[in-house]
Amino acid sequence: MALFITLEGIEGSGKSTQTKLLAQALEKQGASPLVTREPGGSLLGQDLRKILVQGKPGDLSKEAELFLYLADRAQHVDRVIKPALASDKIVLCDRFTDSTLAYQGYARGLDLENLKHLNLQATQGLQPDLSFLLDCPAEVGLKRSHQRLEKELSSESRFEKEDLSFHQKVREGFLKLAQSENQRFVIVDGQKDPELLHQILIQEVQKRLSTKK
């Protein structure tokens, strides 16, 4: 049964771990979920991702950054997400439109109403059925994220190089978005033990699946 689920949160909030755990649990139940992410969920997106997450803050103007995320999303929705939903798959997407509102809107200061409008155009109106916000303090998330980057020898650190206040604005932005759309969003504590957190998430997914039947 088609269901579009997104996971949102600051760096190091545990989205990727929870996405994997959800996918494994759904596979055990016989589903074949599509696991994807933004930026980078389409072929074009893989190239855009390199530009977007490598390098240093200030390399891209706010507007150039925004339009690259939107291009990534437009291609991803059209070529990957919509076809998967049309063939009745559950789609698990690590970041989506709310990340643009939190990062480019609340943190970079671009106009929120305009961003909502552009998001609608990029997604052809597609919205998630369910979104999880993995909330955690910016200090905690950043620490975890730096540890992961070091361990994986990753150069995907353009946002990790932003200062703490930037990440605090992103966190506050996500909280405001989630509170303003509390039908779609479930806010969870990203500092909880990953297995406990997973139990909360999978229960929510089951609930949505049973109400869709």
CB of residue 119 vs ligand TMP: minimum separation in angstroms?
A: 9
Structure tokens that stand for 66 in this block: 């925004």
Out of 106, 132, 159, 174, the only residue in the binding site for ligand TMP (CB under 6 A) is 159
Structure tokens that stand for 80 in this block: 């990957």
Each residue 105-144 as x (binds ligand TMP by CB under 6 A) or -, in order, gives: ----------------------------------------
CB 100 within 8 A of CB 115: yes
CB of residue 120 vs ligand TMP: minimum separation in angstroms?
A: 14
Each residue 60-89 as x (binds ligand TMP by CB under 6 A) or -, in order, gives: ---------x--------------------
Q: Which of residues 170-209 bind ligand TMP (CB under 6 A)?
A: none
> Residues 184-205, buried b or exposed e (16+ Cβ, 10 A)?
ebbbbebeeeeeebbeebbebb
103 touches ligand TMP by CB under 6 A = yes
Could you give the CA distance from residue 131 to residue 178 in angstroms, rounded to a whole number?
9
Strands 90-94 and 34-37: parallel
Could you give the CA distance from residue 118 to residue 65 in angstroms, rounded to a whole number?
13
Could you give the CA distance from residue 110 to residue 55 in angstroms, rounded to a whole number?
21
167 touches ligand TMP by CB under 6 A = no
Residues that bind ligand TMP (CB under 6 A): 11, 37-39, 52-53, 69, 95, 99-100, 103-104, 156, 159
